[in-house]
Amino acid sequence: MSKPTFYVGIDVGQEELVVAMNNCKARSFKHTVAGIGQMVTWAKKQGADSPLHFCLEATGVYGYSLATRLTVKFGLAVSIINGAQIASFARAQLRRTKTDQVDAQVILDFARTQHPPLWQPESKSLHQLYHMVVMADKLQQALRQWKNRKHCYQYIDDLPDMVKRTNRSLVVTLKRQILKVEKEIEKLVNNVK
């Protein structure tokens, strides 16, 4: 007879992980490599060798990093849940208090009742491609801003030459960086094929 799955709800913060687990008071761990290891050790002890299923809200880079460590380094089951689902679930339970401990408990209760699907990290290539595309988009956005400033500068009669030169230099630098990132994206896409 297999042991029941123990769900672990985690409220992920930049510096702290607040963890709720069946029949345990919520605990906090530092959001560091050592803190994650301590959290896993504690959860395994509380779970009495039952399979563990860690659940967390989608919180961008902090949650992704934690989920990746839990799956890759520790080989644990992880689910990343959309924040809107957690918020709706909390409202349905008439929970109005919002603390990290309450959030961890809501995530735990959601996981226990909804049995969310397991999350798997994407391939290294896809992960790198994502970050390169984001960088290209941000550089394009910055380029548009500096070009818009250049346009505005034509209406300023006493604009210092240093401001004009700096603007031109930034536009040239941004264009070069965009080309470099685009070449790296193309190289990565061609190597994946």
In percent, the amount of the chain with pLDDT more than 90 equals 58
Give the mean pLDDT of 38-60: 89
Chain length of the chain: 193
Distance of CA 130 to the CA centre of its chain: 13
Whether 106 and 129 share a structural domain: no
Answer yes or no: do 110 and 130 share one domain: no
The answer to whether residues 77 and 170 belong to one domain is no
> Do 105 and 151 fall into the same domain?
no
Each residue of 104-147: pLDDT tens digit?
999 999 999 999 999 988 888 888 888 899 999 999 999 999 99
How would you classify residue 120: left for phi > 0, otherwise alpha for psi between -120 and 50, otherwise beta? beta
Residues 71 and 134 in one domain: no
Burial of 172 (0-12, 13-18, 19+ CB in 10 A): exposed
Whether pLDDT at 2 is above 60:
yes
103 and 132 fall within a common domain: no
Q: Which domain holds residue 66?
A: 6-114
Structurally, how many domains does the chain consist of?
2
Q: Decide if pLDDT at 177 tops 70.
A: yes
pLDDT confidence band for 74 (50 / 70 / 90)? very high
For residue 100, what pLDDT band results from cuts at 50, 70 and 90?
confident
Residue type, 34: A
Closest by CA to 26, choosing from 41, 38, 9, 12, is 9
- Looking at the predicted structure, is the pLDDT value of residue 20 above 80? yes
User: Which among 126, 131, 111 is positioned nearest to 191, based on CA atoms?
Assistant: 126
pLDDT of residue 3: 77
User: Could you tell me the pLDDT band of residue 24, with boundaries at 50, 70 and 90?
Assistant: confident
In the prediction, which pLDDT does 182 show?
94
Buried residues in 29-45 as b, exposed as e (16+ CB within 10 A): bebeeeebeebbebbbe
Task: Decide if 33 is inside a domain.
Answer: yes
Is 34 in the same domain as 100?
A: yes
Domain boundary among 60, 95, 114: 114
pLDDT exceeds cutoff 60 at 1: no
Please check whether residue 119 lies inside any domain of the structure.
Answer: no
Residue 189, pLDDT above cutoff 70: yes
Rounded to the nearest integer, the mean pLDDT of the chain is 90
Cα–Cα distance, 161 to 41 (Å, whole number): 62
Look up the CATH number of the domain holding residue 71: 3.30.420.40
Percent of the chain with pLDDT over 70: 98
- Predicted confidence band of residue 165 (pLDDT cuts 50, 70, 90): very high
